[in-house]
Chains A and B, each alone.
Chain A
Amino acid sequence: MLGIIRQKVAGKLNHALNFEQGVGAVALRAFSSSAKQMTVRDALNSALEEEMSADPKVFIMGEEVGEYQGAYKITKGLLDKFGPERVVDTPITEAGFTGIGVGAAYHGLRPVIEFMTFNFSMQAIDHIINSAAKSNYMSSGQISVPIVFRGPNGAAAGVGAQHSQCYAAWYGSCPGLKVLAPYSAEDARGLLKAAIRDPDPVVFLENELLYGESFPVSAETLDSSFCLPIGKAKIEREGKDVTITAYSKMVGFSLQAADILAKEGINAEVINLRSIRPLDRSTINASVRKTNRLVTVEEGFPQHGVGAEICATVVEDSFEYLDAPVERIAGADVPTPYAANIERLAFPQVEDIVRASKRACYRSR
């Protein structure tokens, strides 16, 4: 139905790999001085280890986090280091163990609850929203909930409709929650540490396909006190012609799209949202006021999505600055199919981002 540009860009993410194999390292533009590389997996693992060492109240709970070393190996080695009291394997009972985690947080512990994927969080969503997010408000500050809910979110590769949904928009709409979506290893480390230290409930949306990706990390990032602020987006690539907002895996796609656009004389500014809630409206608006054009990119379903919120916020705050309608790139409005060719069509690809950016610049083809 649409002409699909053949991808010849090296480092395209291979959708056919499963989590057991590492995804090939993608060299990205380094923003740091050091040449050390770290996978997102190692970044998360090291963040968990450091925070657990620093605060004895932090513990991990979830399916296969202990003896299995983590379904995606994020918690590898932690059981050996901290013992079964602090790395707790649960039965397959999301509603039960999420409630137990929230109750433990009420009492003053700092749980990190892992969902094997956020698709399973739907079984526990009552506890995330009604027991965790709203408690501090309903109790007028008496019952705080310093908990982190983390796990892979969004599409993997070939896992089908029930295992591929992105929940950023659902959790992002809920007051009382903070919702983070890291992209790089630096994001993973800094945001997870911030989430664990934060006194509020945090939903931490990782991405399975990013776990194996390597990113350069600075000495500062590797320091155990490293922390990123919650609620601040990062400008991954500065530009002046069009603003592209993205989170998680789509940041990588957007950066690739920006490289392609640069060859055609369009200088794109790529914003890595990092924080879905609170949304960094000021960074987004400042960027749009500079470029006058906006493309929002997300993997999730389009209706009531993150892009819809970003579009609304820009229209509310920076209407006079827009030179073109806001473009939204999102997942297709369908449950995710299995067959590789149509699965590919169900999710944004680099060429979709390129095309939309050109449209925003009134350049077709």
Chain B
Amino acid sequence: MAQLTRRSLRLLRPTSAARLLTTTASTAPISIETSLPFTGHNIDPPSRTVETSPHELLTFYRDMALMRRMEIAADSLYKAKLIRGFCHLYDGQEAVAIGMEAAITRKDCIITAYRDHCLYLGRGGTLLEAFAELMGRSGGCSKGKGGSMHFYKKENGFYGGHGIVGAQIPLGCGLAFAQKYSKDENVTFTMYGDGAANQGQLFEALNMAALWNLPAILVCENNHYGMGTAEWRAAKSPSYFKRGDYVPGLKVDGMDALAVKQACKFAKEHALKNGPIILEMDTYRYHGHSMSDPGSTYRTRDEISGIRQERDPVERIRKLLLAHDLATEKEMKDTEKEVRKEVDEAIAKAKEIPAPDTSELFTNVYVKDFGLEAFGPDRKELRTVLP
């Protein structure tokens, strides 16, 4: 079934006008200036001029629109009680995921916290697997056993998906340690938020990464709120790119996919030669912290709509495409319609997938579980010898 195979975001089949547009679009380089200059800490920032191509910009547009649509659809599914528990949405932050993917390969690793749906998609995960996982179905990327916060795609270098704030930072430095140990010339992007930026284990891991010259890039997705606490209430110094002290840092406009791409490319080169670097992505989330947070008790609606008007990442690419005559309004509207259809179809298909078989309660507790016993709540009732 073609739809179930992982569809790389860069390989699109021309089955529609909009897709035809991206596949026939030119890959000839064009240079575009980022909206803002980069600010460096203990390092000379890269140039504001980013090399891109019409093809890349169109792909950015489509992929970000897809991510946006996915998150909004997840919002509806959650309100319809098809998604349970926690659901942390990424809409507003798409440029970080997209820009990063454009600068790296699938051999580089990405690890993040619980706001992971779009990063999963960027790493080659499918809409179907994402929605199935959110709805707790067996066709989900973690077979329904992980949930929203535990998406993984190891073969594409995506290591999750973590629920404990800050834990992913030492884990990411561990991935970088393994990359250096194996001498494979790849890097790890360890993502965390402004809330996690105050965690002690960040500084423990950063110290070791710097001591041992690990190819670790710490990416602070600063959306300015750690759950409901604004950055100025949580951090004495909210200049997260400077908090590495002896580790250089770069402040990046996280709503500009091209700036993100440039920064990540720069960071990768740096990390392979000189060890860790911190990237602070100045970004924003439109939703609250999670679906149980309306997101308006600690910030104003004006602020949210202001960012949407001034800095929306999808809108920025849209304007760029129009300004450079790379797409018409109609073509972009068609893309949006197509993306919406794709999302709706994926949801419909995901709804058909059954929940995991009850025997799955006991699978994957261990890799090597042959002969081990496992018990259910009533040990006389539910007791199994693991396969």
Q: Which residues of A contact B (CB under 8 A)?
A: 59, 85, 88, 90-91, 93, 95-109, 126-127, 130-131, 135-144, 146, 175-176, 178, 198-200, 231, 278, 281, 316
Q: Give the top 3 A-B pairs by smallest Cβ distance, nearest first.
A: A103-B174, A99-B170, A96-B204
> Which chain B positions have C-beta within 8 A of A176?
365-366
Which residue of B has the minimal Cβ distance to A109? B178
Please determine whether A99 and B365 come into contact, CB atoms closer than 8 angstroms: no
* 28 A-B pairs (CB sep. < 8 Å): A88-B212, A96-B170, A96-B204, A99-B170, A99-B173, A100-B173, A100-B208, A102-B170, A103-B111, A103-B172, A103-B178, A104-B177, A106-B174, A106-B178, A107-B109, A109-B177, A126-B164, A130-B164, A130-B167, A136-B365, A139-B150, A140-B146, A140-B363, A140-B364, A142-B152, A200-B367, A231-B372, A278-B372
Cα A51 to Cα B150 with chains together (Å): 33
Please determine whether A105 and B380 come into contact, CB atoms closer than 8 angstroms: no
> Which chain A positions have C-beta within 8 A of B285?
none
Residue of B150, B159, B205, B366 near A106 (CB, 8 A) is: B159
A102-B368 in contact given A126-B164, A140-B146, A143-B160 (Cβ < 8 Å) = no
- Interface footprint category on B: 35 or more
> Which chain B positions have C-beta within 8 A of A135?
160
Which residue of B has the minimal Cβ distance to A107? B178
> Which chain A positions have C-beta within 8 A of B178?
103-104, 106-109
A131-B145 in contact given A141-B364, A200-B368 (Cβ < 8 Å) = no
> Which chain A positions have C-beta within 8 A of B160?
135, 139, 143
Central interface residue in A103, A126, A139, A316, by most chain B CB within 10 Å: A103
> Which chain A positions have C-beta within 8 A of B234?
none
> Which chain A positions have C-beta within 8 A of B161?
138-139
| B232 CB–A CB distance under 8 Å | no
A107-B175 in contact given A96-B201, A136-B364, A143-B160 (Cβ < 8 Å) = yes
A316-B169 in contact given A99-B201, A101-B174, A107-B109 (Cβ < 8 Å) = no
Interfacial residues of chain B within 198-231, with CB under 8 A of chain A in the complex: 200-201, 203-205, 207-208, 211-212
Interfacial residues of chain B within 138-192, with CB under 8 A of chain A in the complex: 142-146, 150, 152-154, 159-164, 167, 169-179, 181-182
Please determine whether B170 and A91 come into contact, CB atoms closer than 8 angstroms: no
| B371 CB–A CB distance under 8 Å | yes
Which residue of B has the minimal Cβ distance to A86? B181
Cα A353 to Cα B200 with chains together (Å): 44
Central interface residue in B109, B201, B212, by most chain A CB within 10 Å: B201
| B25 CB–A CB distance under 8 Å | no
Q: Which residues of B contact A (CB under 8 A)?
A: 109, 111, 142-146, 150, 152-154, 159-164, 167, 169-179, 181-182, 200-201, 203-205, 207-208, 211-212, 363-368, 371-374, 379-380
Please determine whether B170 and A142 come into contact, CB atoms closer than 8 angstroms: no
Please determine whether A138 and B150 come into contact, CB atoms closer than 8 angstroms: yes
> Which chain A positions have C-beta within 8 A of B380?
316
> Which chain B positions have C-beta within 8 A of A93?
204, 207-208
CB distance from B186 to the nearest CB of A (A): 10
Please determine whether B174 and A104 come into contact, CB atoms closer than 8 angstroms: yes
> Which chain B positions have C-beta within 8 A of A139?
142, 146, 150, 152, 154, 160-161, 364
CB distance from A34 to the nearest CB of B (A): 30
> Which chain A positions have C-beta within 8 A of B153?
142
> Which chain B positions have C-beta within 8 A of A96?
170, 173, 201, 203-205, 207-208
Which residue of A has the minimal Cβ distance to B153? A142
Cα A308 to Cα B204 with chains together (Å): 38
> Which chain B positions have C-beta within 8 A of A91?
204, 207-208, 211
Cα A103 to Cα B368 with chains together (Å): 20
> Which chain B positions have C-beta within 8 A of A104?
174-175, 177-178, 181
CB distance from A289 to the nearest CB of B (A): 18
Please determine whether A131 and B374 come into contact, CB atoms closer than 8 angstroms: no
> Which chain B positions have C-beta within 8 A of A142?
142, 152-154
> Which chain B positions have C-beta within 8 A of A126?
164, 167
CB distance from A312 to the nearest CB of B (A): 9
CB distance from B246 to the nearest CB of A (A): 14
Central interface residue in B173, B174, B181, by most chain A CB within 10 Å: B174
CB distance from B17 to the nearest CB of A (A): 37
